[in-house]
Amino acid sequence: MGNGTPLGQVRGLGPAHEGTHHWWHQRLTAGGNLLLVLWFVVSIARLPGYDHATLTAWISSFWVAIPLALLVLSVFYHFRLGLQVAIEDYSHGPGRIAWIVLLNAFTLVAGAIALFSIFSIAFSAGAAA
């Protein structure tokens, strides 16, 4: 018949009672990343120049800073989900928890630095104009 109760099989819950939560989030972020990276590439390609002043003026726009921040959030979350699966699958022993803690710390710090950079450019460029 299979593992688990019939109700558990219908709900798709495994022994951890989380089901497909992790898998579903990774697929959603992959789709979001696809759209946001496509927006980013087209937006960069349409810029008249790539000097500091042009890029600063571009990022200072509300219609650029928000999708750029969403791109950073989505990419770092997707990155964390993927590497967490790799660590859980291939790392065994007591070091596994340390690797996951380091991964979470890295993604949190790197994402925060990226968001701080975007918003500091966005808010300071508007004040300078």
- The answer as to whether 1 is a domain residue is no
Give the 3-state secondary structure of residue 93. coil
CATH code for position 38: 1.20.1300.10
Separation between Cα atoms, residue 61 and residue 35, nearest integer Å:
19
pLDDT value, residue 128: 56
Q: What is the pLDDT of residue 93?
A: 87
Contact 25, 81 (CB under 8 A): yes
Please give the tally of structural domains in the chain: 1
Domain of 101 in residue numbering reads as: 6-128
How far apart, in whole angstroms, are the C-alpha atoms of residue 67 and residue 44?
13
Averaged pLDDT in 10-residue chunks for the chain of 129 residues? 60 62 92 98 96 94 96 97 93 91 98 97 72
Instruction: Say what the pLDDT of residue 20 is.
Output: 83
Kindly tell me the number of DSSP H helices and DSSP E strands found in the chain: 5, 0
